[in-house]
Every structure is written in structure tokens, then in C-alpha cells.
Amino acid sequence: MIKRISILCSLLFIVSIAFGQVEDANPFDLTPRIKAAKEAERAAGKIVFTPANPFDIARSKPAPLPDVAAPEISEVEKEYINVVATKENFRKFFFVAFMGMLVLLTVAFTLFRNSFAKTWRAFLNDNMLTQMHREQGTIANFPYLLMNILFCINLTLFIMSAADIFDLRLMEKGNWSTFFIILGVVTGIFILKHLFIKIIAIVFPISKQMRLYAFTITIFSAVLGFFLIPLNAFIAYAPDNLRISAFWITVGVIVLTYLFRALRGFFIGGRYIASHQFHFLLYICTVEVAPFLVLLRLVLNQG
């Protein structure tokens, strides 16, 4: 019996040692529970860490800042912020579009330098223009087609710069969408003008004069596109007090160029004007005035 009791006590002692090696096996050990409770309180911010070293500085948890309501922004301030953001977006758009146009201009000038020089001489000299028309024989020559594309791009940039000066919001579709829409309208008006001149040349016995006048429009549009390049840059990046002056200077250049072209056109068809005054007036209203009014109406309606 004593032997059995000794064996049983030995087994119980071994089992108690084995369970003692496991921290969670002792149900009376409260250390893990106390440690877990302290961790939960510390995470919730209920207690502050107290250092064991008395010379360590215990950093208390900073008191939360009082809730301060954000100041209300008036409608005038919101409008001003929107205007500033819109103008900044336009300047970014203009920079990218203008740089792209300059790249196209550089490529065209590199490939067709002689055509650019002849265009300028034809702009200044009527005899040179007539000679070039005889040499080319068509207004669809690729260098002049490229020059007129540059003219349409620069005229579109001028229209958008004018809208930016006078705070006109064109179409509210973003700068690039507005750019391509206006570019399409300008190009369409330009093409329709040439088609109308072609129809007049077929219907009336003045085909030679109308072809020369169509070539004159091509030359003058190309030169006007060159004029618009520095003027557009000045309008976009000039100080605010000079932008309106730059705009009116550009308008003056456009008007003078068109008056000069009208004078050259008068020399081309001068002998027909006296005998066909009604047809001349009809042409002026349909081809010259109507496209300008259509473009102006489009801009004003979208402003």
C-alpha cells in the first residue's frame, strides 16, 4: 500500500511540473489576464505608460484639441476661386496647344522653306501672287494647305484667348473639347468659302478671276496665321492690364489684313463690279460677312 501511494504521489508531482511549464494551464495564474486588460486599456487611451525608471519622464497623452468649425466661404469667394482655377487651367492648356502648333510650324518651315518665302513675297506684291498662281495652278498644294491649317489653329487659339479675357465660358466642355469644336467650325467655314467660290467660278464666266481670288485668300490666310503666332503668345502671357490692349491690337491686325485682301480682290474683279453690283453685294454678304456673323453668334451664345 505504501509503495502504491508513493508511486501515485510521484506521478502527481510529475504531472504538476508538466502543467507548470505551460503559462495558461494554471487557472489561478492571473498574470496573462492582467496583462491583456492593461493592453486593452492602453490601446483605448485610458491609462498612460508609467516608466519603471524614476528618472524617465512619463509623457502624458496630449489633450484632444477642441473642435473648431471651418470658416464659411462666401459665394463671392467661391466664384473668385473658380475663376482663378479656370484661368490657370486655360494657361496650361494654351501652353500645350501653342507648343504643339510651334512644333508643326517648325516641321513645315523646315520642309517648305521656299514656299514660306514665296508666300510672304506674294502677300506684299500683286505680280508675285499672280506668278505664283500660274506656277501652282491649284490652291490645294500641300505646303499652302499646311499653312492654312496653322491659320485655323491660331485663329481658334485667338478666339479662346479672347473668351478668357472677357470671362466667356465657351460650351462648358473643357478646354480641349472646346478647342476642337471651334477648330472644326473655323475650318468648316474656310472650306465652305472656297467651295462657294468654286461654284461661282463654274456658274459665271469669271472662272479665271475667281481662281486667282481663291488663291489670294489662301496666301493672305497663311500670312495672317503667321501674324497671330506672336500676338496669341502676348495675349496669353501678358500682364492682366495689357491683355485687353493686346486683344485690340490683334483685332486691328486682322481687320487690316482683311481690308488689304479686299483691296487686292477689288483689283482682280474691279471691271466686273460696275456691271454686276448686285452680284458683288450678294457675294460680300454671303461669303465675307455671313461666316463672321455665324462665328460671332456661336461665341456669344456660348458665353
pLDDT tens figures, 106-150: 999 999 999 899 999 999 998 888 888 888 766 668 888 999 999
The DSSP secondary-structure symbol of 266 reads H
pLDDT tens figures, 238-272: 888 889 999 999 999 999 999 998 888 888 766 66
CA distances from 291 to 85, 145, 214, 223 (A): 33, 20, 16, 20
Higher pLDDT, 269 or 19: 269
22, pLDDT greater than 50: no
How much is the pTM? 0.70
pLDDT at 4: 53
Start-to-end CA span in the chain (Å) = 113
CA distance 218 to 144: 7
CA distance 20 to 26: 7
pLDDT tens figures, 52-101: 555 555 555 555 666 555 566 666 666 667 767 878 888 899 999 999 99
List CB contacts of 165: < 8 A, sequence separation 6 or more.
235, 243, 244, 247
Closest CA to 210 of 227, 195, 197: 197
* Cβ neighbour number for residue 231 with a 10 Å cutoff: 20
CA distance 237 to 210: 40
